[in-house]
Structure 1
Amino acid sequence: MSKIIDFQCTYDNSTGISKETIQQTGIKFPEAYKNWDSMAQLALAIKEQDNASFCQLPFCHTLEGEALGGSITYGDENIGPRVKDYICTTSEEILSLPEIDYSKGRISETLKACKYLREKGENVVLYISGPFTIMNVLADPRHIFKIFRKNPEIMQNIFDKLQKEILKFVMEAQKSGVNMISYGDSVGGLNILGPKLSEQVVEMFTYPLFKKIEETLNDEAIMLLCPKTTFALLGTKKAVWRDIDIGTPIGYGQGCVQVIGKTKFVGQMCIKNKAFQLKNGIIKGIDLL
């Protein structure tokens, strides 16, 4: 049995989009969630509002699912994009979904916004979702967990399909100049899956994915792992910590930028915790075994 430690997601200290920010920028919704220029404008406004050291895109966790064919409601300034209807009820339907076309749709607009912000000199965090978060857009989670428990070989096929999509998304992000790629899968956390299935996810999906990302990630980008993912890798003895001395106390986000090229992975804290300080000047890299 694995010894995976759970991480409580209580560190999202962004205040959301304030009415003052919306009024000052004149941003319109839902266009802000769909067009690259509005996305970039909103990302800059949120960065300034939160006094952050980086811009963040996208503003939801439905991007990949929508690009695979998911049905999405875009929402407004109060409620962002979310699932409208599930489009799959069987594993066959999930496996038959077409590959993501990164040249069209909201996922293309997101990459354009990232490129624009990077060309303006901004550090950009691109949030990429894990398999259960993606599938949560496509199918009722009860169907997914049933497949996992009763037909692990079919689940492996689904994992393989999504692994290819995530790996390609990482590659497309690098082409757009993204220097900070955040990975999380809260829907597939220990608190939801339990220890046994969580260990299986690491073996079947997470570890193989990150070994491939390790090979493709260039020295101008870094992967920021959700601590839930970090502790899953550590708990299954697939990774170890490595201390990197930055030399001075610094904010976690700034520290992540400073160690680009010195490690492929970090993940001791949620990147959304903008107040977290590396008080001893040490950031922990993650080395895969």
Structure 2
Amino acid sequence: MVDFDCTYDNSAGINKEVTRKTNLQFPEAYKHWESMVLLAQELKKHDHTSFCTLPFCHTVEGEAMGGIINYGDENIGPRAGDYICTTPEEILGLPKIDYSKGRIAEVLKACHYLREKGENVVLYVSGPFTIMNVLMDSRHVFKALKKQPEAMKEIFIKFQDEIMCFVTAAQKSGVNMLCYADPSGGLNVLGPKYAEQVVELFTYPLLKGIEEILNDETMMLLCPKTTLALLGTDRAVWKDINLGVPIKYAEACIEVIGQAKFVGQMCIKNNHYKLKNGVIKTLSLC
């Protein structure tokens, strides 16, 4: 297994120049679908991309489970606040996400509105360690990973169910590109042994389930860290699609919706990455 050298870390796209232009009030702007729409459209213009992205952080799922969030300001987006759990058992006791209320519902409303206006929409979906990072100090997370493997398996099952529900709700809202990443649980953080276990226990079963529910109008963009973990454990193989002309990676992803369920050779945040030979590598699960 090899790692991908990520230069974007936990960034989800907040830009000071953009937030200052909007004249929105922060942090309230991060909480309501109308202001989310405006921010997403302005970020699209600023970054010269062919899609809008939501949300502007990696805390939505954790908050919807009861996590405490520091909503930030116009300079920095929402991030984890005080932790509410210290044990795996406490995480397992958290309520299921209600997609009809709270900020997660506002995100889905914003996605629906943007799609109705003809925009391509990328919705960020967080992996288990990134969600846990909102709920529990990482010291307790990695202690549980080593000392309470059965409890961690139960947490993985709980989070698989939640992410599947999120993907289903997003698809109903019209989202055509989901972007899955777990920056808090990469090979560089977990090490080879645990990274391989996470693929076997969580990532691969999750993506196999998502593969079943994705329709021909939706695809999943994988963080290259996730892609390389799947390839390194022989859980996926590359499948090339030749688009015939040089094309930006992001635009190529849009082009192959309906032809592939998964892509993941480059970070979607790399706006300048171009496929000079016109070939995009899609991913087929084994």
Query: What TM-score do the two structures reach when normalised by structure 1?
Result: 0.96
Summarize the alignment of residues 244-283 of structure 1 with structure 2, pairs less than 5 Å apart.
244-283=241-280
> Cα gap change, 1:212/1:15 in structure 2, threshold over 3 Å: closer, same or farther?
closer
Establish whether residue 159 from structure 1 lines up as the match of residue 156 from structure 2.
yes
Unaligned residue ranges in structure 2 (runs of 5+): none
Distance 1:245 1:233 in 2: 23
**Percent identity over the alignment?**
66
In the alignment, the residues of structure 2 paired with residue 160 and residue 185 of structure 1 have an alpha-carbon distance, to the nearest angstrom, of 16
* Residue in structure 2 matched with residue 212 of structure 1 by the alignment: 209
Q: Summarize the alignment of residues 75-90 of structure 1 with structure 2, pairs less than 5 Å apart.
A: 75-90=72-87
C-alpha RMSD of matched pairs (Å): 1.3
- In structure 2, the residue matched to 1:140 is 137
Q: Confirm or deny: 8 A CA contact 1:14 1:50 kept in the other structure.
A: no
Q: Which amino acid aligns with 1:191?
A: N
The Cα of 1:135 is off from its aligned counterpart by: 0.2
Q: Which residue is equivalent to 1:188?
A: 185
1:203 aligns with 2:217: no
* Alignment partner, residue 29 of structure 2: 32
User: Is residue 241–residue 282 contact of structure 2 (8 Å, CA) maintained in 1?
Assistant: yes
1:66 counterpart (57, 63, 66): 63
1:11: how far off?
Answer: 5.2
Partner Cα separation in structure 1 for residue 188 and residue 127 of structure 2: 16
**One-letter amino acid of the structure 1 residue matched with residue 237 of structure 2:** V
Matched letter for residue 113 of structure 2: Y
| Cross-structure match for 2:44 | 47
Q: Unpaired runs of 5+ in structure 1?
A: none
Asked if structure 2 preserves the Cα contact closer than 8 Å seen for 1:6 and 1:231, the reply is yes
C-alpha separation in 2, matches of 1:219 and 1:15:
27
C-alpha separation in 2, matches of 1:6 and 1:178: 29
**Count of matched residue pairs:** 285
The Cα offsets for residues 57-90 of structure 1, whole Å up to 9 and x where unpaired, read as 0000011000000000111111211111000011
The answer on whether the counterparts of 2:12 and 2:57 sit within 8 Å (CA) in structure 1 is no
Asked whether the equivalents of residues 14 and 56 of structure 2 are also in contact (C-alpha less than 8 Å), the reply is: no
Match of 1:101 in 2: 98
Residue 81 of structure 2 aligns to a residue whose secondary structure is: strand
2:237 is equivalent to residue 240 of structure 1: yes
Assess if the C-alpha contact under 8 Å between 2:164 and 2:206 holds in 1.
Answer: yes
Shift of residue 250 of structure 1? 0.8
Q: Which residue of 2 aligns with 1:17?
A: 15
Q: TM-score, normalised by structure 2?
A: 0.97
CA distance in 2, matches of 1:153, 1:246: 45
Change (3 A) 1:23 1:171: same
* Distance (Å, rounded) in 2 between the aligned partners of 1:134 and 1:24: 31
Greater mean deviation of Cα atoms: 25-34 or 223-232: 25-34
Post-superposition offset of 1:27 = 1.9
* Distance (Å, rounded) in 2 between the aligned partners of 1:73 and 1:150: 30
Aligned mates of 1:184, 1:283 — CA distance in 2: 19
Matched-pair contact (CA < 8 Å) for 1:244–1:284: yes
Q: 1:190 to 1:23 in 2, by over 3 A?
A: closer
